Amino acid sequence: DSGVTQTPKHLITATGQRVTLRCSPRSGDLSVYWYQQSLDQGLQFLIQYYNGEERAKGNILERFSAQQFPDLHSELNLSSLELGDSALYFCASSVAPISGNTIYFGEGSWLTVV
Amino acid sequence: GEDVEQSLFLSVREGDSSVINCTYTDSSSTYLYWYKQEPGAGLQLLTYIFSNMDMKQDQRLTVLLNKKDKHLSLRIADTQTGDSAIYFCADLTGGFKTIFGAGTRLFVKA
């Protein structure tokens, strides 16, 4: 158990809908990362937050947004969902945004868009 | 932009050594990592190496870094069936992003 908690574990929704994925980082970790893992594109970095502020942005679509709240939990909002958004979405956390040690991953949220 | 590349598959016999290779493009990398993903699980950090090191050994794992060629490798000695997993190389870039490779799926044959 990495200490990073993601909910829901599985989600099935229809095209055009909107979903919110939630992440609680490890206790004491200030930085939160979101990644998308799909079969055809591997593991893609989406976005990173540090202590509530956006720190780095990767290949995140405009239909997607995220935020980190004062209690440090984070949410990833996915809207106008398309079939191609079906993937495993990982949240990860670390102590600092440039930690040289470890990014701890949650077990992921499986999103299936039908 | 920054990129990390790995071969997609590797198959070895139990007891042999496995070598998983990775190349990266960022010239300002600070740390390079190896993560392991078992079926149905998240990624777990196996080991990491600071960019000014050439080699790091941790029990059955040996990491080699050739900074000139931007090449990273992970050697697993005495590979076991429990080592079957996807192995991800990752690069902490100078822009503070951690970029992952697509992962190498290691198959260990008994």
Residue whose structure tokens are 């990073």: A4
pLDDT reported for residue A54: 93
The tens digit of pLDDT for each residue in A70-91 reads 999 999 999 999 999 999 999 9
3-state secondary structure B46-77: EEEEECCCCEEEECCEEEEEECCCCEEEEEEC
Residue A97 pLDDT class (50, 70, 90 cuts): low
Which is higher by pLDDT, A69 or A40? A69
Q: Is B82 helix (H, G, I), strand (E, B) or coil?
A: helix
pLDDT reported for residue B48: 87
Q: Residue A98: is its pLDDT beyond 70? A: no
B85, B66 contact by CB (below 8 A): no
Lowest mean pLDDT among A36-45, B5-14, B32-41: A36-45
Interface of B with A (CB under 8 A): 30-31, 33, 35, 40-45, 48, 50, 88, 92, 95-103
Q: List the single residue in A with minimal CA-CA distance to B98.
A: A45
pLDDT reported for residue B95: 59
Amino acid identity, residue A13?
T
Cα distances from A20 to residues A25, A74, A104, B31, B36, in angstroms, run: 16, 10, 21, 32, 27
* C-beta atoms of B100 and A58 within 8 A: no
Q: Is B38 helix (H, G, I), strand (E, B) or coil?
A: coil
Q: How far is A104 from chain B (nearest CA, A)?
A: 7
* C-beta atoms of A45 and B100 within 8 A: yes
Residue A45 pLDDT class (50, 70, 90 cuts): confident
Cβ contacts of residue A48 below 8 Å, gap of 6+? A31, A32, A33, A34, A54, A55, A56, A57, A58, A97, B96, B97
pLDDT reported for residue B66: 95
- Average pLDDT for residues A56-68, to the nearest whole number? 92
- For residue A43, give the nearest of B51, B96, B30, B5 by alpha carbon: B5
The tens digit of pLDDT for each residue in B40-76 reads 788 888 988 988 899 999 999 999 999 999 999 999 9
pLDDT reported for residue A16: 97
